[in-house]
């Protein structure tokens, strides 16, 4: 498996990873309307292409193709990196793709902490992030009306996981 910066030709593969992971993960937790709203908001061709253009979208790729993705940015005051998206195809979860993507983001963050949010009730994501050194820092309302609350987590600036 290779983790690399996404290129324009990866748009469709990144959308596939995101939409398949969203349906598998969030439909049972928050329902179909939540999933449709999130996909419409964050997984359009335009949104994904813009993210790739920044150079801050990564993909995990095997001989079979792209199996995971992550996107991140510096927060406005540059004091931290925000991991906006981390998704792996359901059938590839447990392959090391997620860990490899987080590692690449932590390395890119350098001496900055890495922050993220995940849906409250997503025990798999919570445990995964805790194993990689992230700790809960609070909660916030869902950005999607009627959606579940989000758990805020942070990993201090240290060596990569």
pLDDT band at 24 (very low <50, low <70, confident <90, very high): very high
> 82 - beta bridge partners?
73, 115
Q: Which pLDDT tens digit goes with each residue over 75-94?
A: 877 789 999 999 999 999 99
Q: Which pLDDT tens digit goes with each residue over 41-80?
A: 999 999 999 999 999 999 999 999 999 999 999 987 778 9
Backbone angles phi, psi at 22, to 5 degrees: -60, -50
pLDDT at 160: 54
Which are the contacts of 113, defined by CB distance < 8 A and separation ≥ 6? 79, 80, 81, 154, 155, 156, 157
pTM higher than the cut 0.85: yes
């Amino acid at each position: 498996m290779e983790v690399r910066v996404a290129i324009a030709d990866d748009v469709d593969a990144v959308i596939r990873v995101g939409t398949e992971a969203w349906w598998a993960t969030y439909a049972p937790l928050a329902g179909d309307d939540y999933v449709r709203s999130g996909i419409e908001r964050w997984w359009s061709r335009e949104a994904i292409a813009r993210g790739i253009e920044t150079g801050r979208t990564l993909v995990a790729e095997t001989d079979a193709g792209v199996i995971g993705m992550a996107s991140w940015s510096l927060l406005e005051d540059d004091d931290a990196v925000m991991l906006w998206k981390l998704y792996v195809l359901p059938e590839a979860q447990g392959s090391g793709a997620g860990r490899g993507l987080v590692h690449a983001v932590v390395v890119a963050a350098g001496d900055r902490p890495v922050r993220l949010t995940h849906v409250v009730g997503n025990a798999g994501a919570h445990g995964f992030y805790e194993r990689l050194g992230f700790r809960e820092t609070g909660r916030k309302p869902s950005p999607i009306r009627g959606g579940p609350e989000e758990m805020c987590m942070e990993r201090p600036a240290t060596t990569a996981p």
